[in-house]
Chain A
C-alpha cells in the first residue's frame, strides 16, 4: 500500500486549508461547472479572459482535499498566462497525471512548480479524477471564452 504521506503533502494540505482564488466572478467572466459523478463533488470555475490573456480566475464548489487544493494551485498558476500557455500547461499537468496519450504534444520543459506535489496522487488511481476535476473544468471554461 503506498504511504498516505505521498498523497497528503504539506503544500497540498496548505492549499486545502487556505485555498487561493476562492470566490466568484460576475459576468462577463464565463463560469463553468464540473462534477465528479463518482463522489458527487462539484466545482465551478470563473474565468475572465481578455486579449487572449487570463486576467482573473476564481473557483467555488465542494470537494475533497485533493480536488480543492489542485484547483487552488491551478488558479495561481494560470493567472496572467495566455490562453495558449494555459492549454500547454494543462496538457503538461494531465501528462503528469498519466492521462494523456501521445507525448509529442506535451512540452516537458514547462515547470509545474508546487503542482508537482500532486504527482503522488498517481499512486492512488481512484483519486486522479479528484486532482483533474478543476483542470478539466478550466478547459471547458476556456472553450466558452472562445465562443
Chain B
C-alpha cells in the first residue's frame, strides 16, 4: 500500500483493484464511470469477506462475545469515517442507505419540523435530483418556495446575486462538486454566506468526499452527506454528517428498532445519537467495508488523489482538445484547479447513447444520459451527454483509450 508521502502512481494503485485487471474479449477494461460508482480495492473486499466468515453477528443487541466484537468493529468503522471528514465526534455520523436517503432524512425530519408555507429553500442549477426532488415533495406538501443559484457561462455558480438570493432563506443546500460539469464549488464561502443570512448550510458532498480531503468543520457546514459506493466502499450504504446540536433537536425520521430508548403502549422515547436516526438492522458488513475503504483512501492520501486528478484533468482536457478540436464540446470548466476529473461531453453530433455503445466495443465504460440532473441538462442545452469520470486508479492510458475509441465511433456514424 502507498503511504501519504510516497510518490503516487495510479498504475500501481490499479493493482489493488482486482476488477480492473479483468479483460473482456481479450481487451482490457477501461473503467471511466467512477462518478457513478467506484470499483473496490482488495482490502475492502477482503475485509468484508473476513468479517462475514469470522465475525458476523448482530450489533447493539446481544451480550455474547461474538456480537460484542461485531459491534466494536462496526463502531470502529464509524470512528474511522468521523476522522476521515474531521467530524467533531462519531455521534455526528449517521449511517443511511445512500446519500439520497440522507437528504430525504433531512427534508423529512428537519424540514418538516422547521419549514412552513412561504419559507424559502435555496438550491442551485447544478444539483443532482437527490437534492431537488425531496425539497419539491416538501414544496407540494407545505408550499415552501424554492429558489435557484444560476450558472455563469463558464459553468461556475453565478454568485453575483448570492446575497439577495439568500435574503429570507432558511436553508441553502448545494453540491460540493457537480456530477455532470465537474465544477468544484467554494464550499466554505457558500456556508459562510448561508450563515450570514441566518440559513442552514447543507453540502451534498457525494462527488468531493471520494476525491479530495474533507474537513466538515473547516467548511462550517451544518449537514453533509455522501455515498460509500463512490469512495471504494460497498453499495447500500450512505453517510449523513450533521452538527450534533442540530441532530439532537430534530425529530426522528424512520421509526422502529434500535432508534428507541423506551417503548410503551402509549408512546416511545428516542435513543441517543446516532442510533436515533438508525432504525432497524443496519448494513453491518457494508459499514465494516466502508471503514476499510476510508483507511485505504487515507493511506493513499486524499491530497495525493486530488493532485492526481488535477493532473489527469490537465491531460484529458489538453489531449481531447488537441486530438478533436471543435469536434468535441466539454461541458465544464477548463481550469483543472476548479474541477474534478469528470467530463461530460458532446462528440461530432453522435448521440451519447450511440457513443457509449460504440465505446463499449473497446471496453471503454462511460455513462450516457442525463446523469440525474435534468434541470441542469436543460440549462446546458443537452438532452443527454456522455460522461467519462476518472478516479485514483485511472491512468493517462485510460484517457488515450477513450480518445481512440471515440475515433472509431466516427467511422460508424
Instruction: Spell out A's residues near B (CB within 8 Å).
Output: 1, 4, 7-8, 13, 16, 38-42, 62-66, 124, 127, 130
In the complex, the answer to whether B383 meets A41 with C-beta atoms within 8 Å is yes
CB nearest to A130 among chain B residues: B353
Least CB distance, A65 to chain B, in whole angstroms: 5
In the complex, the answer to whether A40 meets B374 with C-beta atoms within 8 Å is yes
The reply to whether the CB of B377 lies closer than 8 angstroms to some CB of chain A is yes
Chain B residues with CB under 8 A of A42:
383
In the complex, the answer to whether A39 meets B368 with C-beta atoms within 8 Å is yes
CB nearest to B382 among chain A residues: A40
In the complex, the answer to whether B377 meets A40 with C-beta atoms within 8 Å is yes
Tell me which of A7, A13, A38, A63 contacts B357 (CB under 8 A): A7
| Cα-based distance from A42 to B354 in the complex (angstroms) | 15
Tell me which of A1, A65, A127, A130 contacts B25 (CB under 8 A): A1
CB nearest to A68 among chain B residues: B351
Chain A residues with CB under 8 A of B368:
39
CB nearest to A1 among chain B residues: B25
16 pairs of residues in contact across A and B, judged by CB atoms under 8 Å: A1-B24, A1-B25, A1-B360, A4-B357, A8-B354, A38-B369, A39-B370, A40-B370, A40-B383, A63-B351, A63-B353, A63-B383, A65-B413, A124-B357, A127-B353, A130-B353
In the complex, the answer to whether A13 meets B25 with C-beta atoms within 8 Å is no
Chain B residues with CB under 8 A of A130:
353
| Cα-based distance from A51 to B351 in the complex (angstroms) | 38
Contacts A1-B361, A13-B413, A39-B370: A66 and B353 contacting too (C-beta < 8 A)? Answer: yes
Contacts A8-B412, A13-B413: A39 and B25 contacting too (C-beta < 8 A)? Answer: no
Which 10 A-B pairs rank lowest in CB-CB distance, beginning with the nearest?
A64-B353, A40-B370, A64-B351, A39-B369, A40-B384, A62-B383, A40-B383, A65-B354, A64-B354, A4-B361
| Cα-based distance from A66 to B374 in the complex (angstroms) | 22
Contacts A13-B413, A39-B384, A65-B413: A127 and B24 contacting too (C-beta < 8 A)? Answer: no
4 extra interface residue pairs, beta carbon distance < 8 Å, beyond A4-B361, A124-B357, A127-B357: A4-B412, A38-B369, A39-B368, A130-B353
The reply to whether the CB of B66 lies closer than 8 angstroms to some CB of chain A is no
| Cα-based distance from A62 to B353 in the complex (angstroms) | 12
Chain A residues with CB under 8 A of B273:
none
**B359-413 interface (Cβ within 8 A of A):** 360-361, 368-370, 374, 377, 383-384, 412-413
Least CB distance, A83 to chain B, in whole angstroms: 31
Chain B residues with CB under 8 A of A41:
353, 383-384
| Cα-based distance from A62 to B352 in the complex (angstroms) | 11
Chain B residues with CB under 8 A of A62:
383
Chain A residues with CB under 8 A of B360:
1
**B25-41 interface (Cβ within 8 A of A):** 25
Chain B residues with CB under 8 A of A127:
353, 357
Chain A residues with CB under 8 A of B361:
1, 4
The reply to whether the CB of B358 lies closer than 8 angstroms to some CB of chain A is yes
Chain A residues with CB under 8 A of B353:
39, 41, 63-66, 127, 130
CB nearest to B374 among chain A residues: A40
